[in-house]
Amino acid sequence: MLASSCGFDSYLDYYDGAERVWYFGKGWCQIRYMPRLSDYRGKLEEIPYDFHELLGALAPRPLFVNAPLHDSNFRWKSVDQCAAAEALVYGQLQSGGWTNSIDFDPRGKVALYRNGKGRGKNNSSLDDGQTQSAIRFLVLADKALGFRNKKIHESAEFALKALLAAQFANGGFPQVWTGPVGQQRITKASYPDYDWQTEGRIKNYWDMYTLNDNVCGYVADTLIDAYRVYDDEQYKTALRRFGDFLLLAQMPEPQPAWAQQYNYEMQPIWARKFEPPGISGDESQEVIETLITIYNITGDRKYLEPLPRALAYLKRSVLPDGQLARYYELDTNKPLYMVRRADVYTLTYDDSKLPKHYGWKTESRLRELEKKYDELIHTTDPLRSPPRAPSERLIRQIITGLDGEGRWVSVYNGERLVGQAKFKQGERYISSEVFGRNLTPLSDYLIATAD
């Protein structure tokens, strides 16, 4: 068991890089520490090691860190940043990405890690942002550390290389990969020419084109971060190609939106046994938002071209309760659900007895998306237009919603929760979804109103 009593600030971050603490006898350059570090004043990036390497050298042995919240010398946040980055480096798969957990038992059977540990599977997953979130964290950590942490830098580069190798010729991505993907014929989305209710089920659907659970938004954000941090055009090119895939994946009339899962012929297919090949209200809204994001980065208006048709279709498809169905039946556009008996799922149009483990309906964000689109078509230069500030009324409402400890506390009222957490009716809980939803307008407001 090892113990430490400080944060793990990078030398570059120590007192925010202030030169005054790098003179002989100051800070780390005191006699009791390492006085010769004063030789690196003004050239901290040349120090031959940093605390992140030290932390990595200690792994995987147990380590207790005492990092006081109000320490004016070493910041406690650096502990979280270092530990998270080192954990992600340890948990990177040989295929370059991550799965939904990391097993620190060297003989564990969860996954097959790039560091030679583990004896499990080698399935890099894009589901629920697993790999994308890890890449984004490492890329931003790499930048924060001045690209000097060799392990973090190499891990980020290896992951991004693997992500690009998992991009199909048409620009799409699979849900899971174990290595570079095979290339398929490029074609536009179409309706199945077979009875999709009884045919076309593919066991390894995760090897094919997927948009499930906001794969598109997570992937786009990852490529944008990589492009901005490394100033490398290959990531912007990959973003464009992904946008081109989303254009191809838009279904033709009478349902010009998007499905969750496609086969190599670009036809909607089954995923899990309760995920039928239909038009998806949730994923379609996510695609619209992603296309707007890609347009804002590239300035290419072709990524806005599908939006009017998709928005008009989705507005026609809103349910009586104001929500969108997760699935709409192909051709008929009837809201499509499932009933469950034991492990058997059966298609139905009836929403009165829905299984509770899945989100069969989703909140409509069409008004917000339509407003974003309308603003964009009247903007001559999307790359230079400042973000529009959210209303002061909304900002006051968000701030007022904080409790005395600075938290947004929700009360469970039977709604479906991310991660399928279980609470009793009326129980109070903290939702990461609410946190993210509130933090976005707060950030936009600060950016838009900054002097």
pLDDT at 384 over 50: no
Query: Picking from 12-26, 53-67, 181-195, which range would have the lowest pLDDT averaged per residue?
Result: 53-67
For 239-277, letters b (16+ CB in 10 Å) and e give bbbbbbbbbbbbbeeebbbbbbbbbbebbbbbbeebbbb
Q: How far apart are CA 305 and CA 247, in angstroms?
A: 9
Entry pTM: 0.78
Which residue in this structure is represented by tokens 């529009």? 388
Q: What is the pLDDT of residues 217-275, one digit of tens each?
A: 999 999 999 999 999 999 999 999 999 999 999 999 999 999 999 999 999 999 999 99
Position 46 scores a pLDDT of 85
pLDDT: which is higher, 87 or 388: 87
Residue indicated by tokens 């080192």 = 86
Mean per-residue pLDDT, 326-343: 96
Residue partners of 451: CB distance under 8 A and separation at least 6: none
Rounded mean pLDDT, 303-331: 97
At 98 the pLDDT is 97
More confident residue, 164 or 106: 164
pLDDT at 70 over 80: no
Confidence bin at 109 (pLDDT 50/70/90):
confident
Count CA atoms closer than 13 A to 34's CA, side-chain side. Answer: 10
Model confidence at 59, in pLDDT bands (50, 70, 90)? Answer: low
pLDDT of residue 380: 60
Average pLDDT along the chain: 89
Q: Are 137 and 88 in contact (CB under 8 A)?
A: yes
pLDDT over 70 at 169, yes or no: yes
**Mean pLDDT, range 306-334, rounded to an integer:** 97
> Residue 166 has what pLDDT?
98
- 344: three-class secondary structure by DSSP: strand
Q: Percentage of the chain surpassing pLDDT 90? A: 60
Amino acid at 142: D
At 332, the pLDDT band (50, 70, 90 cuts) reads: very high
Task: Indicate the DSSP class of residue 115.
Answer: T
- pLDDT class for 440, splitting at 50, 70, 90? confident
Measured in degrees and rounded to the nearest 5, phi and psi for residue 333 equal: 65, 20
The answer to whether residue 89 scores a pLDDT higher than 60 is yes
Residue 90 tokens read as: 């340890």
Higher-pLDDT residue of 93 and 199 is: 93
Q: pLDDT digits over 385-435, tens only?
A: 555 678 888 898 899 899 988 999 988 887 766 655 678 888 898 887 788
What are the tens digits of pLDDT across the range 1-51? 678 777 677 787 788 778 899 999 988 899 888 999 999 998 887 888 777
For 262, the 3-state DSSP assignment is strand
Instruction: Tell me the pLDDT band of 363, cut-offs 50, 70 and 90.
Output: very high
What is the Cα–Cα distance from 87 to 91, expressed in whole angstroms? 6
Mean pLDDT of 273-302: 96
Domains in the chain: ranges and CATH: 2-152 (no CATH), 166-385 (1.50.10.20), 390-451 (no CATH)
* pLDDT for res 83: 73
Most confident among 34-38, 143-147, 364-368, 443-447 (mean pLDDT): 364-368
pLDDT bracket for residue 84 (50, 70, 90): confident
- In this prediction, residue 421 carries a pLDDT of 66
pLDDT at 135: 97
Residue 362: predicted pLDDT: 94
Task: Give the pair of three-digit tokens for residue 427.
Answer: 């129980």
Question: Does residue 441 carry a pLDDT above 60?
Answer: yes
Q: What is the pLDDT of residues 191-207, one digit of tens each?
A: 999 999 988 899 999 99
Considering only residues 237 and 75, tell me which one the structure prediction assigns the higher pLDDT.
Answer: 237
